[in-house]
A and B are shown apart, each in its own frame.
Chain A
Amino acid sequence: MATQNSRSAARLMMAPAVILLLGWMLVPLTMTLWFSFRKYLPLRGGDQGWVGFDNYVRFVSSSSFWPSVQTTLIIVGGVLIITVVFGILLALLLDQPMWGQGVVRILVIAPFFVMPTVSALVWKNIFMDPVNGLFAHLWKFFGATPVEWLSQASVQSIIMIVSWQWLPFATLILLTAVQSLDGERLEASEMDGANPLQRFGYIVLPHLARAITIVVLIQTIFLLSIFAEIFVTTGGAFGTKTLSYLIFQRVLESQNIGLGSAGGIYAVILANIVAIFLMRIVGKNLDA
């Protein structure tokens, strides 16, 4: 409900944001799409013309493609499981009455605000270094041989670093959802004779379902493109090359733009599949 006047004003005022984002999306994407059909090696002969779907086929059939997909899935899946499970437990714990709740909350949330390069570096050196790292000291204290984390258990290490960064996010959102749970409903189920486990299964978990879905979807989008954590720690070595890191290497390290662009298009498609689910949920919320 509004007048013609305000509608045209609205269109005008929306224009800068829409045009900027449209440009930001369309221009580079079109270029990527264009490059993906060309043999383009800036350092080795430049643009060598149209090659059709060659890059797409080569990207998928290269020996590093499937391992990178596997690594991506393991890292994303691992972080999701850890953050959601521990996030629920932590949210339930933090919802309980206790002394110093505010302070604990701050402690738990803190890692989210640490910039990715810092957390990657600190973990890599101060904790995971096989000689001087804190873990090495701990292992030696118990008489064990220190683990060379980032080469022997590289994927696990990265999952751990990234989980540490994202656990606060999951916890905070799930805590918000837990707090919106009506206490009377829990009490009613207790009156009905449900034990704590049943109460969790039948009341709490269904109530959290939407928040969990949102956590999973949003994290998936961010996790699919984690970069600094790998760049700083292993540089993609020791089986930590994710799909997006592989594309990054194709583009900037081996300067094979055509191949990298084809990979980029795959990544865009993959992200969009996840995005569709997220937008459905967010969109439903808009109508409410």
Chain B
Amino acid sequence: MARSITTQRKTINTVLAWAIGLLIFFPILWTILTSFKTEAQAINDPPIFLFFDWTLENYSVVQERSNYARFLWNSIFIAGGSTLLGVIIAIPAAWSMAFVPSKRTKDILLWMLSTKMLPAVGVLYPIYLLFIKFGLLDSVLGLTIVIMLINLPIIVWMLYTYFREIPVDILEAARMDGASLKSEILYVLTPMAVPGIASTLLLNFILAWNEAFWTLNLTAAKAGPLTAFIASYSSPEGLFYAKLSAASTMAILPILILGWFSQKQLVRGLTFGAVK
């Protein structure tokens, strides 16, 4: 816009936006700060904002007491595994829908979307039963599969919208150059779609990491990821704010950083390409 904005106006905007931004971010900031306090300082009245004795004690206590590493490893494995598996299944499907569209393509895409909208609670018991039957209850594998399935529609959709932006000419050129379907997808399509595939991986990793319903209902001590680890702190006995904060910080920080990288893709991924 070739419009000059007065400095005064810009200053007001800045102050207002920063104030609101900090207000929204405050719970996270406060949690992070509290994680470095002692338990006494954490519940001090009046609350101490910055001038307390910074300590890392809470982090070591949390790690020792609850085997944080195993939960973290479960989280990484489940989020990473489900996302990777989903993308491997989704790439060929998205290729088909983007480059060989038929009359049914649109219906299939919308149907896939509709499975995403199935309320989880409606199928909770059947899944529970199936998990018991196949010995998948409280297993990393079982949760990986379920989370892959609930995110598969989003993965297919995201890849589809990215693939559609690639000119079909280039794939045809590869065909003329003697490439088999496998080579076409492996050497031409995939490298060209790297940015799209990367954002798909990122967003779905975040969604999988934060998944709560199936995680809480299908896992316990053995296969529980960080979501479950945190939920275990909700039991009233032994509530320590500083330790709760330390545990929370450890659970959200990695994803917060990843999330900031993915803000643009977030819009596209979560609106199924309806808003870009």
Contacts and interface: CB of A to CB of B under 8 A. Distances in A.
Interface of A: 2, 6-7, 9-11, 13-14, 16-18, 20-21, 24-25, 27-29, 31-32, 35, 90, 93-94, 96-101, 103-127, 132, 134, 137, 140-141, 164, 167-169, 172-173, 176-177, 183, 187, 210-211, 214, 218, 221, 224-225, 227-228, 231-232, 244-245, 247-248, 251-252, 257, 260-261, 264-265, 267-268, 270-272, 274-275, 278-279, 281-283, 285-287
Most buried by A among B16, B47, B99: B47
B100 A267 contact: no
B130 to A, nearest CB: 7
A107 B122 contact: no
29 contacts: A9-B100, A31-B123, A32-B125, A32-B126, A93-B13, A94-B17, A96-B17, A99-B10, A99-B14, A103-B21, A104-B21, A110-B24, A110-B260, A115-B255, A126-B30, A134-B30, A172-B267, A176-B267, A183-B1, A211-B275, A225-B119, A228-B213, A251-B128, A267-B119, A268-B118, A268-B119, A275-B113, A278-B117, A283-B106
B197 interface: no
B276 A176 contact: yes
Nearest to B212: A228
Contacts of A283: 106, 110
Interface string B13-51: 110111011101101101100100000000101110000
B274 A109 contact: no
Given A115-B227, A132-B43, A14 B274 contact: no
A6 to B, nearest CB: 5
Contacts, number: 311
Nearest to B100: A10
Nearest to A161: B27
Interface residues of B, number: 97
Contacts of B259: 109-110, 112-113
B231 interface: yes
Contacts of A227: 120-121, 212-213, 216
Given A13-B92, A32-B122, A110-B25, A2 B213 contact: no
A117 B232 CA distance: 10
Contact of B121 (A18, A93, A164, A267): A267
A183 B181 CA distance: 45
Contact of A28 (B92, B95, B127): B127
Interface of B: 1, 3, 5, 9-10, 13-14, 16-18, 20-22, 24-25, 27-28, 30-31, 34, 43, 45-47, 89-90, 92-93, 95-97, 99-100, 102, 106, 108-110, 112-115, 117-130, 149, 152-153, 156, 181, 206, 209-210, 212-213, 216-217, 226-228, 230-231, 233-234, 239, 241, 244-245, 248, 251-252, 255-256, 258-260, 263, 266-267, 270-276
A7 to B, nearest CB: 6
A115 B122 contact: no
Contact of A232 (B1, B28, B152, B231): B231
A261 B267 CA distance: 34
A264 B121 contact: yes
B258 to A, nearest CB: 8
B208 to A, nearest CB: 11
B234 A11 contact: no
A116 B234 CA distance: 13
Contacts of B10: 96-99
B275 A126 contact: no
Given A97-B5, A111-B27, A137-B45, A244 B210 contact: no
Contact of A214 (B114, B152, B212, B275): B275
Nearest to B153: A21
B89 A20 contact: yes
